Structure 1
Amino acid sequence: MKHLRYRQMALAMMAFAVLAPVTAPIARADTTQPAQQIPVAIAVIDIQQILRDSSAAKSVRAQVDKQKDTYQAQIAQQENALRDVDKKLAEQRATLSADDFAKKQDQLRQQMDQLRQNSEKLKQQLEDAFNAGMGQVSQALAGVLTDIAKQRSLTLILDKRAVPLSANGFDITADALKGLNAKLPSVTIPKPTQ
Protein backbone atom coordinates (compact mmCIF):
# COMPACT_ATOMS: atom_id res chain seq x y z
CA MET A 1 0.00 0.00 0.00
CA LYS A 2 2.81 2.36 0.95
CA HIS A 3 4.74 1.47 -2.23
CA LEU A 4 1.67 2.19 -4.35
CA ARG A 5 1.37 5.66 -2.83
CA TYR A 6 5.06 6.40 -3.53
CA ARG A 7 4.70 5.12 -7.08
CA GLN A 8 1.63 7.32 -7.67
CA MET A 9 3.53 10.32 -6.32
CA ALA A 10 6.51 9.53 -8.54
CA LEU A 11 4.27 9.20 -11.61
CA ALA A 12 2.55 12.48 -10.77
CA MET A 13 5.91 14.22 -10.38
CA MET A 14 7.12 12.78 -13.71
CA ALA A 15 3.92 13.92 -15.42
CA PHE A 16 4.31 17.37 -13.90
CA ALA A 17 7.95 17.52 -14.99
CA VAL A 18 6.98 16.63 -18.55
CA LEU A 19 3.96 18.92 -18.75
CA ALA A 20 5.38 21.91 -16.88
CA PRO A 21 7.21 24.40 -19.08
CA VAL A 22 10.94 24.40 -18.60
CA THR A 23 12.42 27.78 -17.84
CA ALA A 24 16.01 28.78 -17.51
CA PRO A 25 16.98 32.14 -16.11
CA ILE A 26 19.10 34.31 -18.36
CA ALA A 27 21.62 36.59 -16.72
CA ARG A 28 20.30 40.12 -17.20
CA ALA A 29 20.61 43.40 -15.45
CA ASP A 30 16.81 43.60 -15.29
CA THR A 31 15.49 40.65 -13.28
CA THR A 32 11.86 41.66 -13.62
CA GLN A 33 11.60 40.20 -17.12
CA PRO A 34 10.39 36.59 -17.51
CA ALA A 35 12.84 33.75 -18.03
CA GLN A 36 13.37 32.34 -21.52
CA GLN A 37 11.29 29.28 -22.45
CA ILE A 38 13.27 26.21 -23.48
CA PRO A 39 11.40 23.76 -25.69
CA VAL A 40 11.31 20.22 -24.35
CA ALA A 41 12.09 17.39 -26.76
CA ILE A 42 12.05 13.95 -25.15
CA ALA A 43 13.08 10.51 -26.31
CA VAL A 44 13.15 7.13 -24.62
CA ILE A 45 15.69 4.35 -24.98
CA ASP A 46 15.77 0.72 -23.88
CA ILE A 47 19.27 0.59 -22.43
CA GLN A 48 18.90 -3.05 -21.35
CA GLN A 49 18.11 -4.06 -24.94
CA ILE A 50 21.13 -2.18 -26.25
CA LEU A 51 23.46 -3.72 -23.65
CA ARG A 52 22.04 -7.13 -24.55
CA ASP A 53 21.89 -6.85 -28.35
CA SER A 54 24.80 -4.63 -29.38
CA SER A 55 27.62 -6.42 -31.15
CA ALA A 56 30.21 -4.96 -28.74
CA ALA A 57 28.33 -6.22 -25.67
CA LYS A 58 27.93 -9.63 -27.29
CA SER A 59 31.67 -9.73 -27.98
CA VAL A 60 32.41 -8.92 -24.33
CA ARG A 61 30.15 -11.72 -23.10
CA ALA A 62 31.57 -14.21 -25.62
CA GLN A 63 35.17 -13.45 -24.60
CA VAL A 64 34.37 -13.71 -20.89
CA ASP A 65 32.52 -16.99 -21.43
CA LYS A 66 35.40 -18.43 -23.45
CA GLN A 67 37.98 -17.43 -20.85
CA LYS A 68 35.75 -18.73 -18.07
CA ASP A 69 35.37 -22.12 -19.77
CA THR A 70 39.13 -22.37 -20.30
CA TYR A 71 39.97 -21.58 -16.70
CA GLN A 72 37.22 -23.79 -15.30
CA ALA A 73 38.65 -26.71 -17.28
CA GLN A 74 42.15 -25.98 -15.93
CA ILE A 75 40.90 -25.69 -12.36
CA ALA A 76 38.87 -28.90 -12.68
CA GLN A 77 42.00 -30.68 -13.92
CA GLN A 78 44.01 -29.38 -10.95
CA GLU A 79 41.23 -30.37 -8.52
CA ASN A 80 41.20 -33.90 -9.94
CA ALA A 81 44.98 -34.14 -9.54
CA LEU A 82 44.70 -33.06 -5.90
CA ARG A 83 41.92 -35.60 -5.30
CA ASP A 84 44.20 -38.31 -6.69
CA VAL A 85 47.00 -37.18 -4.36
CA ASP A 86 44.55 -37.23 -1.44
CA LYS A 87 43.40 -40.74 -2.36
CA LYS A 88 47.00 -42.01 -2.60
CA LEU A 89 47.82 -40.34 0.70
CA ALA A 90 44.89 -42.12 2.36
CA GLU A 91 46.18 -45.43 0.97
CA GLN A 92 49.69 -44.69 2.34
CA ARG A 93 48.44 -43.79 5.80
CA ALA A 94 49.22 -47.18 7.26
CA THR A 95 52.79 -47.19 5.92
CA LEU A 96 53.71 -43.59 6.88
CA SER A 97 54.64 -42.34 10.31
CA ALA A 98 52.18 -39.99 11.97
CA ASP A 99 54.53 -37.03 11.41
CA ASP A 100 55.09 -37.83 7.73
CA PHE A 101 51.38 -38.31 7.18
CA ALA A 102 50.60 -35.01 8.93
CA LYS A 103 53.23 -33.17 6.85
CA LYS A 104 51.90 -34.58 3.58
CA GLN A 105 48.34 -33.83 4.62
CA ASP A 106 49.36 -30.27 5.49
CA GLN A 107 51.09 -29.87 2.10
CA LEU A 108 47.95 -31.13 0.36
CA ARG A 109 45.79 -28.70 2.34
CA GLN A 110 48.10 -25.83 1.33
CA GLN A 111 47.85 -26.84 -2.33
CA MET A 112 44.05 -26.96 -2.06
CA ASP A 113 44.01 -23.52 -0.43
CA GLN A 114 46.28 -22.17 -3.15
CA LEU A 115 43.99 -23.59 -5.83
CA ARG A 116 40.96 -22.00 -4.14
CA GLN A 117 42.76 -18.64 -3.98
CA ASN A 118 43.76 -18.88 -7.65
CA SER A 119 40.19 -19.73 -8.56
CA GLU A 120 38.85 -16.69 -6.67
CA LYS A 121 41.51 -14.47 -8.23
CA LEU A 122 40.57 -15.64 -11.75
CA LYS A 123 36.89 -15.14 -11.01
CA GLN A 124 37.56 -11.57 -9.87
CA GLN A 125 39.75 -10.87 -12.90
CA LEU A 126 37.01 -12.14 -15.24
CA GLU A 127 34.48 -9.94 -13.49
CA ASP A 128 36.82 -6.94 -13.77
CA ALA A 129 37.41 -7.70 -17.48
CA PHE A 130 33.65 -7.91 -18.07
CA ASN A 131 33.07 -4.61 -16.25
CA ALA A 132 35.88 -2.92 -18.20
CA GLY A 133 34.47 -4.15 -21.50
CA MET A 134 30.93 -3.10 -20.66
CA GLY A 135 32.31 0.24 -19.47
CA GLN A 136 33.70 0.79 -22.97
CA VAL A 137 30.29 -0.10 -24.42
CA SER A 138 28.54 2.34 -22.06
CA GLN A 139 31.02 5.09 -22.89
CA ALA A 140 30.52 4.60 -26.63
CA LEU A 141 26.74 4.53 -26.12
CA ALA A 142 26.92 7.87 -24.30
CA GLY A 143 28.71 9.35 -27.33
CA VAL A 144 26.10 7.91 -29.70
CA LEU A 145 23.26 9.31 -27.56
CA THR A 146 24.94 12.72 -27.48
CA ASP A 147 25.12 12.70 -31.29
CA ILE A 148 21.46 11.65 -31.60
CA ALA A 149 20.43 14.33 -29.10
CA LYS A 150 22.24 16.99 -31.12
CA GLN A 151 20.83 15.79 -34.45
CA ARG A 152 17.25 15.73 -33.16
CA SER A 153 17.53 18.68 -30.78
CA LEU A 154 16.60 16.49 -27.83
CA THR A 155 16.69 17.98 -24.36
CA LEU A 156 16.01 14.75 -22.48
CA ILE A 157 16.58 11.03 -23.07
CA LEU A 158 14.98 8.69 -20.54
CA ASP A 159 15.50 5.01 -19.89
CA LYS A 160 12.40 3.17 -21.05
CA ARG A 161 12.14 1.39 -17.68
CA ALA A 162 11.54 4.76 -15.97
CA VAL A 163 8.71 5.69 -18.34
CA PRO A 164 5.44 3.83 -17.76
CA LEU A 165 4.01 4.83 -21.13
CA SER A 166 5.29 6.49 -24.28
CA ALA A 167 4.38 6.63 -27.94
CA ASN A 168 6.53 4.60 -30.32
CA GLY A 169 7.74 7.79 -31.99
CA PHE A 170 9.69 8.70 -28.85
CA ASP A 171 11.71 5.45 -28.88
CA ILE A 172 15.23 5.88 -30.29
CA THR A 173 16.52 2.43 -29.26
CA ALA A 174 16.91 1.12 -32.82
CA ASP A 175 18.84 4.22 -33.93
CA ALA A 176 21.06 4.10 -30.85
CA LEU A 177 21.76 0.39 -31.38
CA LYS A 178 22.63 0.99 -35.03
CA GLY A 179 24.90 3.90 -34.12
CA LEU A 180 26.62 1.92 -31.35
CA ASN A 181 27.23 -1.06 -33.64
CA ALA A 182 28.78 1.27 -36.20
CA LYS A 183 30.90 3.15 -33.67
CA LEU A 184 32.03 0.14 -31.61
CA PRO A 185 31.55 -3.21 -33.36
CA SER A 186 33.60 -5.13 -30.79
CA VAL A 187 35.61 -4.78 -27.61
CA THR A 188 38.75 -6.69 -26.66
CA ILE A 189 38.90 -7.45 -22.96
CA PRO A 190 42.10 -8.14 -21.03
CA LYS A 191 42.98 -11.75 -20.31
CA PRO A 192 43.27 -12.74 -16.65
CA THR A 193 46.74 -13.50 -15.34
CA GLN A 194 47.32 -16.63 -13.34
Structure 2
Amino acid sequence: MRKVIKLVFVVAGLLGAAPIAAQELGTTASTVVTIDREKLFLNSDFGKRVAREVEAAGNELAAENRRIEADLADAEQELTDLRATMSVTDFRPLADAFDTRVQTTRQAQAAKTRALNALLGQERDVFLNAAAPVIETLMKEIGVSVVLDRRTVFSSAASSDITEDAIQRLNDDLGEGTNIKLPPALQASPPQD
Protein backbone atom coordinates (compact mmCIF):
# COMPACT_ATOMS: atom_id res chain seq x y z
CA MET A 1 0.00 0.00 0.00
CA ARG A 2 2.82 2.45 0.83
CA LYS A 3 4.39 1.79 -2.56
CA VAL A 4 1.11 2.70 -4.27
CA ILE A 5 0.80 5.96 -2.32
CA LYS A 6 4.43 6.80 -3.04
CA LEU A 7 3.89 6.03 -6.72
CA VAL A 8 0.79 8.30 -6.78
CA PHE A 9 2.86 11.15 -5.32
CA VAL A 10 5.71 10.61 -7.77
CA VAL A 11 3.39 10.46 -10.78
CA ALA A 12 1.29 13.36 -9.52
CA GLY A 13 4.46 15.38 -8.95
CA LEU A 14 5.63 14.69 -12.46
CA LEU A 15 2.27 15.75 -13.84
CA GLY A 16 2.11 18.87 -11.68
CA ALA A 17 -0.94 17.64 -9.79
CA ALA A 18 0.55 17.19 -6.33
CA PRO A 19 -1.94 19.47 -4.55
CA ILE A 20 -4.97 17.54 -5.80
CA ALA A 21 -3.35 14.18 -5.11
CA ALA A 22 -2.47 15.30 -1.60
CA GLN A 23 -6.07 16.39 -0.97
CA GLU A 24 -7.49 13.14 -2.31
CA LEU A 25 -5.22 11.16 0.01
CA GLY A 26 -6.23 13.26 3.01
CA THR A 27 -2.77 14.68 3.63
CA THR A 28 -1.77 18.30 4.06
CA ALA A 29 -0.44 19.99 0.95
CA SER A 30 2.54 22.27 1.19
CA THR A 31 2.60 23.62 -2.33
CA VAL A 32 3.43 27.28 -2.71
CA VAL A 33 1.76 29.46 -5.33
CA THR A 34 2.12 33.12 -6.22
CA ILE A 35 -0.24 36.03 -6.84
CA ASP A 36 0.57 39.35 -8.43
CA ARG A 37 -1.23 41.62 -5.94
CA GLU A 38 -1.04 44.68 -8.20
CA LYS A 39 -2.49 42.78 -11.16
CA LEU A 40 -5.06 41.18 -8.85
CA PHE A 41 -6.34 44.60 -7.82
CA LEU A 42 -6.05 46.42 -11.15
CA ASN A 43 -7.58 43.64 -13.27
CA SER A 44 -10.43 42.79 -10.93
CA ASP A 45 -13.85 44.37 -11.44
CA PHE A 46 -13.41 45.99 -8.02
CA GLY A 47 -10.07 47.53 -8.97
CA LYS A 48 -11.35 48.68 -12.36
CA ARG A 49 -14.26 50.47 -10.66
CA VAL A 50 -11.91 52.15 -8.20
CA ALA A 51 -9.57 53.17 -11.04
CA ARG A 52 -12.50 54.72 -12.95
CA GLU A 53 -13.70 56.61 -9.90
CA VAL A 54 -10.24 57.88 -8.98
CA GLU A 55 -9.54 58.86 -12.58
CA ALA A 56 -12.84 60.78 -12.77
CA ALA A 57 -12.10 62.56 -9.49
CA GLY A 58 -8.56 63.26 -10.70
CA ASN A 59 -9.90 64.73 -13.95
CA GLU A 60 -12.28 66.95 -11.97
CA LEU A 61 -9.41 68.08 -9.77
CA ALA A 62 -7.24 68.80 -12.83
CA ALA A 63 -10.04 70.87 -14.38
CA GLU A 64 -10.46 72.74 -11.11
CA ASN A 65 -6.71 73.39 -11.01
CA ARG A 66 -6.82 74.81 -14.55
CA ARG A 67 -9.70 77.14 -13.58
CA ILE A 68 -7.83 78.28 -10.48
CA GLU A 69 -4.66 78.84 -12.52
CA ALA A 70 -6.58 81.00 -14.98
CA ASP A 71 -8.16 83.02 -12.14
CA LEU A 72 -4.77 83.53 -10.48
CA ALA A 73 -3.20 84.54 -13.77
CA ASP A 74 -5.95 87.15 -14.25
CA ALA A 75 -5.48 88.43 -10.70
CA GLU A 76 -1.72 88.61 -11.22
CA GLN A 77 -2.20 90.60 -14.42
CA GLU A 78 -4.49 93.03 -12.57
CA LEU A 79 -1.80 93.48 -9.92
CA THR A 80 0.83 94.05 -12.58
CA ASP A 81 -1.36 96.71 -14.19
CA LEU A 82 -2.03 98.37 -10.82
CA ARG A 83 1.65 98.41 -9.91
CA ALA A 84 2.38 101.13 -12.43
CA THR A 85 -0.28 103.42 -10.89
CA MET A 86 0.37 102.87 -7.16
CA SER A 87 3.03 103.69 -4.63
CA VAL A 88 5.09 100.87 -3.14
CA THR A 89 3.44 101.49 0.23
CA ASP A 90 -0.07 101.16 -1.21
CA PHE A 91 0.85 98.24 -3.49
CA ARG A 92 2.64 96.06 -0.88
CA PRO A 93 -0.54 94.95 1.00
CA LEU A 94 -2.18 93.95 -2.29
CA ALA A 95 0.88 91.94 -3.37
CA ASP A 96 1.10 90.26 0.05
CA ALA A 97 -2.59 89.36 -0.06
CA PHE A 98 -2.12 87.86 -3.53
CA ASP A 99 0.89 85.80 -2.34
CA THR A 100 -1.14 84.54 0.63
CA ARG A 101 -4.00 83.61 -1.72
CA VAL A 102 -1.62 81.68 -3.99
CA GLN A 103 -0.03 79.78 -1.09
CA THR A 104 -3.39 78.95 0.50
CA THR A 105 -4.76 77.74 -2.85
CA ARG A 106 -1.71 75.57 -3.49
CA GLN A 107 -2.00 73.99 -0.04
CA ALA A 108 -5.72 73.33 -0.49
CA GLN A 109 -5.22 71.72 -3.91
CA ALA A 110 -2.29 69.64 -2.65
CA ALA A 111 -4.49 68.43 0.23
CA LYS A 112 -7.14 67.35 -2.29
CA THR A 113 -4.53 65.42 -4.26
CA ARG A 114 -3.30 63.71 -1.08
CA ALA A 115 -6.89 62.84 -0.12
CA LEU A 116 -7.47 61.31 -3.54
CA ASN A 117 -4.29 59.23 -3.23
CA ALA A 118 -5.31 58.20 0.29
CA LEU A 119 -8.71 57.13 -1.02
CA LEU A 120 -7.01 54.88 -3.58
CA GLY A 121 -4.92 53.32 -0.82
CA GLN A 122 -7.98 52.85 1.37
CA GLU A 123 -9.93 51.21 -1.43
CA ARG A 124 -6.96 48.91 -2.07
CA ASP A 125 -6.96 47.95 1.62
CA VAL A 126 -10.71 47.28 1.54
CA PHE A 127 -10.20 45.12 -1.55
CA LEU A 128 -7.39 43.11 0.02
CA ASN A 129 -9.41 42.58 3.22
CA ALA A 130 -12.43 41.44 1.20
CA ALA A 131 -10.22 39.30 -1.05
CA ALA A 132 -8.53 37.41 1.80
CA PRO A 133 -11.37 34.95 2.53
CA VAL A 134 -11.94 34.39 -1.19
CA ILE A 135 -8.23 33.61 -1.70
CA GLU A 136 -8.26 31.32 1.35
CA THR A 137 -11.17 29.36 -0.14
CA LEU A 138 -9.36 29.11 -3.47
CA MET A 139 -6.24 27.90 -1.63
CA LYS A 140 -8.22 25.13 0.03
CA GLU A 141 -9.82 24.12 -3.24
CA ILE A 142 -6.52 23.78 -5.07
CA GLY A 143 -4.71 22.32 -2.07
CA VAL A 144 -2.04 24.90 -1.32
CA SER A 145 -0.89 26.17 2.02
CA VAL A 146 1.09 29.28 1.06
CA VAL A 147 0.48 32.15 -1.35
CA LEU A 148 3.34 34.56 -1.92
CA ASP A 149 3.27 37.96 -3.57
CA ARG A 150 4.94 37.42 -6.94
CA ARG A 151 7.07 40.55 -6.46
CA THR A 152 8.83 38.97 -3.47
CA VAL A 153 9.73 35.74 -5.27
CA PHE A 154 13.10 35.49 -6.96
CA SER A 155 12.03 32.79 -9.40
CA SER A 156 8.99 30.59 -9.96
CA ALA A 157 7.31 28.60 -12.67
CA ALA A 158 4.56 30.39 -14.53
CA SER A 159 2.21 27.58 -13.56
CA SER A 160 2.54 28.58 -9.90
CA ASP A 161 0.84 31.94 -10.56
CA ILE A 162 -2.86 31.77 -9.67
CA THR A 163 -3.58 35.47 -10.26
CA GLU A 164 -5.98 34.94 -13.17
CA ASP A 165 -7.95 32.27 -11.28
CA ALA A 166 -8.09 34.54 -8.24
CA ILE A 167 -9.29 37.51 -10.33
CA GLN A 168 -12.10 35.42 -11.79
CA ARG A 169 -13.12 34.17 -8.35
CA LEU A 170 -13.02 37.71 -6.91
CA ASN A 171 -15.08 39.05 -9.81
CA ASP A 172 -17.65 36.33 -9.15
CA ASP A 173 -17.71 36.87 -5.38
CA LEU A 174 -17.09 40.61 -4.95
CA GLY A 175 -18.04 42.12 -8.31
CA GLU A 176 -17.22 45.81 -8.36
CA GLY A 177 -17.24 45.92 -4.58
CA THR A 178 -19.89 48.63 -4.40
CA ASN A 179 -21.59 46.86 -1.51
CA ILE A 180 -18.38 46.68 0.53
CA LYS A 181 -18.04 49.53 3.01
CA LEU A 182 -14.84 51.03 4.35
CA PRO A 183 -14.22 50.09 7.97
CA PRO A 184 -14.44 53.18 10.25
CA ALA A 185 -10.66 53.18 10.73
CA LEU A 186 -10.15 53.56 6.98
CA GLN A 187 -12.82 56.18 6.37
CA ALA A 188 -11.66 59.63 5.29
CA SER A 189 -13.58 62.59 4.04
CA PRO A 190 -13.68 62.87 0.23
CA PRO A 191 -11.85 65.72 -1.52
CA GLN A 192 -13.74 69.00 -1.23
CA ASP A 193 -14.12 71.67 -3.89
TM-score, length-scaled by structure 1: 0.72
Judge conservation of contact 2:29–2:144 (CA < 8 Å) in 1: no
Q: Report the Cα offset of residue 172 of structure 1.
A: 2.2
The one-character-per-residue Cα deviations of 1:121-164 (angstroms, maximum 9, x if unpaired) are 00110011000111111112212111112223321122334151
Q: Distance in 1 between matches of 2:29 and 2:99?
A: 69
Name the residue aligned to 1:193. Answer: 192
- Secondary structure (helix, strand or coil) at the match of 2:77 reads helix
Q: Which amino acid aligns with 1:144?
A: V
Tell me which protein shows more helix as a share of its residues.
2
Q: List runs of 5+ in structure 2 lacking aligned partners.
A: 1-26, 183-188
2:133 counterpart (143, 150, 161): 143
Gaps of 5+ in 1: 1-36
* In 1: Cα distance, 2:72 partner to 2:105 partner: 9
Give me the identity figure in percent: 25
Q: Cα gap change, 1:66/1:167 in structure 2, threshold over 3 Å: closer, same or farther?
A: closer
TM-score (norm 2): 0.73
> Structure 2 CA distance, aligned partners of 1:160 and 1:129?
25
1:62 corresponds, among 28, 52, 55, to 52
Is contact 1:75–1:115 with CA below 8 Å preserved after alignment? no
Q: Cα offset for 1:99? A: 2.0
Equivalent residues, number: 157
**Within-5 A mapping of 1:105-124:** 105-124=95-114
- Distance verdict in 2 for CA 1:100–1:41, change over 3 Å: same
Deviation at 1:63, TM superposition (A): 0.9
The Cα shift of 1:45 comes to 2.3
Among 124, 149, 152, the residue aligned to 1:134: 124
Q: Which runs of 4+ in 1 moved over 6 A?
A: none
